[in-house]
Amino acid sequence: MSEKIPRKIKTSVILITLAGQLAWGIENQYFNIFMYNKITPIPIYISFMVAASAITATITSIIMGAYSDIKGARKLFFIIGFIFWAITTALFSLSGFIAPFNVILAVAVAILFDCLMTFFGSTAYDAAFNAYLRDITNVKNRGKLLSLVQIMSLLSILIVYGISGIVIEQWDYYIYFFAVGLLVGIVGLIGALLAEDSKNLKPLDSSIYRHLKSTFNRESLKTNKDFFLVLSGAAFWGLAFNIFFPFVLIYMEYYLNLDILISSVLILILFTFAMILAYPMGMLVDKVGRKKIAMSSVIFECIFLILFAMTSELVFILITGTVWISCMTTFTISANTWTKDLYPKDKHGQFSGYFILFTVLVPMVPGPLIGGWLSQEFGIYAMINGQPGYIPTPIIFIVSAFMILLTLIPLLFAKESE
């Protein structure tokens, strides 16, 4: 079983990851900030948008993942997906022009644009690309390649946070979203054209319905028990993480009184440390094991989220933030590697969809809703940009810290692939 992956394939993985994570980074943070600053500073509307996007991502990734299995192709889905993903990212900010006339309509249009962007993104990335990563790796090299994926994910976040504050302050959100959409399209298409479908990937003589139905019988569920246990742990992690993460920049800007440029630079520094650690962690995951690394990450994440919530000093924000972001990186590598080890043959695309079900829909619907509710019930009422709103407080991090411990329960019972 070879550990070597061709350079061309590595390059395609790097470029697709960079482009995809640039788009998701914008959607996960700056779509939220745009809603808060340009449409209305009511946190619960952000929660509605995140939930709608998560539902769209899940349905899309399961169906389109199964469809890519049946067609025996991933590359075609990359190409089509990235073209329209770039266009819909660029168009998102048009919702802001409606806000002066009708706030509710502007919120609805923003959510619609987010869902359209998510449909194409999930087709290209969540469904096809996640399956592609399983197609081209084995248990000897999977952790290393997924650590490269994590490095590029973090690099994309560094790019997003490094340039976003500057571009938004200089040219506003409308130029910003257009520029990011163009970048996503160019980088993503180059990566997609370099990609090569696995020679072992063949079309299936099945319908989407039969392909999906075959998973949900007693024998199949028993065979794939460990896969669903690991995903349950990832769901608990994601739920807890999404209580605070959609609001972290808003918290830093309005509660800690750091302007958007300083907040973005601070996040940039935190993710730089996490990126440096990613590849060694991928090697460690391959050598030490998925389970030990994942469970250790959970415990340290809990501790340092609480410490992060207890400080307002910049140096301690930097230290505690670096650790919880690094734990996020380590858990992501170990959990993603673990689940891909457990994908059944001929269902890589379909099971990539289930991965999104547990890591996007399950956590990103209740998580942001809990965070939005906490931000309003225990937040600080204030006038923001001339409108009444609420500022999130440290409780979102404290609640998240205790919720994240639930991750340990299913992981205790899950076994690693032999």
**Average pLDDT over all residues of the chain:** 88
Q: Residues, the chain, total? A: 418
Residue 39 lies in a domain: yes
Q: What is the pLDDT of residues 345-355, one digit of tens each?
A: 777 777 777 88
Closest CA to 384 of 394, 395, 397, 375: 375
The CATH code of the domain that includes 396 is: 1.20.1250.20
Region 200-224: what's the mean pLDDT? 76
Amino acid occupying residue 329? T
Q: What is the pLDDT of residues 156-182, one digit of tens each?
A: 877 877 788 788 888 889 899 999 999
Q: Does the pTM exceed 0.85?
A: no
CB 46 within 8 A of CB 368: yes
Give the model's pLDDT for residue 78: 93
Region 383-387: what's the mean pLDDT? 80
* Distances from the Cα of 338 to the Cα of 33, 230, 240, 309, 417, angstroms: 33, 8, 20, 30, 8
Amino acid occupying residue 13? V
Q: What is the pLDDT of residues 388-401, one digit of tens each?
A: 888 999 999 999 99
Q: CA angle at residue 103 from 249 to 181, to 5 degrees?
A: 55
CB 129 within 8 A of CB 78: yes
CB 54 within 8 A of CB 246: no
Q: What percent of the chain has pLDDT over 70?
A: 97
Residue 375 lies in a domain: yes
Q: Whole domain around residue 42: which residue ranges?
A: 7-413
Please enumerate in sequence order all residues whose Cβ is within 8 A of that of 173, keeping only pairs 6 or more positions apart, or say none. 30, 34, 38, 93, 96
Q: What is the pLDDT of residues 104-144, one digit of tens each?
A: 999 999 999 999 999 999 999 999 998 899 888 877 778 77
Residue 184 lies in a domain: yes
* Distances from the Cα of 203 to the Cα of 71, 104, 137, 196, 340, angstroms: 5, 45, 19, 15, 20
Give the model's pLDDT for residue 268: 76
pLDDT band at 278 (very low <50, low <70, confident <90, very high): confident
Give the model's pLDDT for residue 1: 42
Residue 354 lies in a domain: yes
Please enumerate in sequence order all residues whose Cβ is within 8 A of that of 219, keeping only pairs 6 or more positions apart, or say none. none
Query: Of all helices (H) and strands (E), which one includes residue 383?
Result: strand 380-384
Residue 252 lies in a domain: yes
Residue 2 lies in a domain: no
Give the model's pLDDT for residue 2: 53
What is d(CA 114, CA 56) in angstroms, rounded to the nearest whole number?
9
Chain CA centroid to CA 231, Å? 15
Give the model's pLDDT for residue 281: 83
The DSSP call for residue 127 is: I
Q: At what angle do helices 314-341 and 260-288 cross, to 10 degrees?
A: 40
What is d(CA 249, CA 252) in angstroms, rounded to the nearest whole number?
5
Give the model's pLDDT for residue 216: 65
Which tokens hold the place of 305?
A: 């989220």
Region 305-333: what's the mean pLDDT? 91
Number of domains, the chain: 1
What is d(CA 48, CA 31) in angstroms, rounded to the nearest whole number?
12
Residue 418 lies in a domain: no
CB 16 within 8 A of CB 191: yes
* Distances from the Cα of 100 to the Cα of 95, 106, 271, angstroms: 10, 9, 36
What is d(CA 64, CA 70) in angstroms, rounded to the nearest whole number?
10
What are 303-309's contacts with CB under 8 Å, separation 24+? Answer: 303/401, 305/244, 305/397, 305/398, 305/400, 305/401, 305/404, 306/397, 306/398, 306/401, 308/397, 309/394, 309/395, 309/397, 309/398, 309/401
pLDDT band at 217 (very low <50, low <70, confident <90, very high): low
Closest CA to 220 of 208, 209, 228, 232: 228
Please enumerate in sequence order all residues whose Cβ is within 8 A of that of 232, keeping only pairs 6 or more positions apart, or say none. 358, 410
CB 96 within 8 A of CB 39: yes
